[in-house]
């Protein structure tokens, strides 16, 4: 139901560069949660105050969340940046450390897109109920970064998950 929440989209694309960012819906939803939580805080009940504080906290975290991934073939790097509450964490990974872009089915009818690295864990891109948007995203990354594209949406793969 909330597949769009936290989804990445292609912001800019050239023949040698793809920039991915979180959708604006994530920030808008976060700020709406914060406003709703603040309204709950105005109710004079203990349960409303606790729930309101929790919802405000989640709203502020979602509202300030930023994520960008830049695949740049000319530089030979994948640059990632994550921001939450203004705290920034960024990395630069050489493209030759990446192995493949994968779209696969998981249990519960969810499709997941991620980038496999030669060493280390995978880099999660996005997940959705339908594979088409993920496949378009994966194809753009595979083309620019010159990576192998693996697409496995079979039920066999989801059953062994």
For the stretch 67-121, pLDDT in tens is 999 999 999 999 999 999 989 999 999 999 999 999 999 888 889 999 999 988 8
Specify whether the CB–CB gap between 71 and 96 falls below 8 A.
Answer: no
Supply the pTM of this predicted model.
0.81
Q: Cα dist. 44→22, 34, 55, 59, 150 in Å? A: 36, 18, 16, 21, 54
- For residue 142, give both structure tokens: 């595979």
Considering only 2-11, 18-27, 141-150, which range has the smallest mean pLDDT? 2-11
Handedness of CA 152, 158, 159, 161 (dihedral sign): positive
Q: How confident is the model at residue 145 (pLDDT cuts 50, 70, 90)?
A: very high
Distance linking the first and last C-alpha atoms of the chain: 21
Separation CA 12–CA 21 (nearest Å):
9
Residues 8-29 have pLDDT tens digits of 889 999 999 999 999 888 889 9
Q: How far is residue 152's CA from residue 157's CA, in Å, rounded to a whole number?
A: 7
Q: In angstroms, rounded to a whole number, what is the distance separating the alpha carbons of residues 121 and 119? A: 7
Spatial separation of the C-alpha atoms in residues 66 and 83, rounded to whole Å? 5
pLDDT at 155 over 80: no
Q: How far apart are CA 18 and CA 10, in angstroms?
A: 7
Looking at per-residue pLDDT, the higher value among 110 and 161 belongs to 110
Residue 92: both structure tokens together: 């630069």
Assigned fold of 8-28+63-159: PH-domain like (2.30.29)
CA gap 27, 63 in Å, rounded: 4
Q: What is the pLDDT of residue 1?
A: 44
The residue among 151 and 154 whose pLDDT is bigger is 151
- Which pLDDT score is estimated for 28? 92
Query: Model confidence over 37-52: pLDDT tens digits?
Result: 999 999 988 999 999 9
Distance CA 76, CA 5 (A): 30
């Amino acid at each position: 139901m909330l597949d769009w929440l936290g989804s990445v989209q292609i912001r800019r694309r050239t023949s040698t560069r793809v920039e991915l960012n979180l959708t604006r819906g994530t920030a808008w939803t976060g700020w709406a949660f914060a406003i709703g939580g603040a309204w709950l805080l105005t109710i004079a009940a203990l349960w409303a105050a606790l729930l309101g504080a929790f919802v405000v906290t989640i709203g502020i975290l979602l509202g300030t969340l930023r994520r960008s991934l830049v695949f740049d073939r000319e530089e030979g790097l994948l640059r990632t940046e994550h921001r939450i509450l203004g705290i920034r964490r960024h990395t630069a990974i050489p493209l030759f450390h990446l192995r493949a872009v994968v779209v696969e089915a998981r249990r519960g009818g969810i499709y997941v897109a991620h980038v496999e690295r030669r060493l280390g864990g995978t880099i999660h891109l996005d997940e959705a109920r339908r594979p088409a948007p993920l496949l378009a995203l994966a194809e753009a990354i595979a083309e620019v970064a010159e990576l192998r594209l693996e697409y496995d949406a079979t039920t066999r793969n989801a059953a062994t998950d």
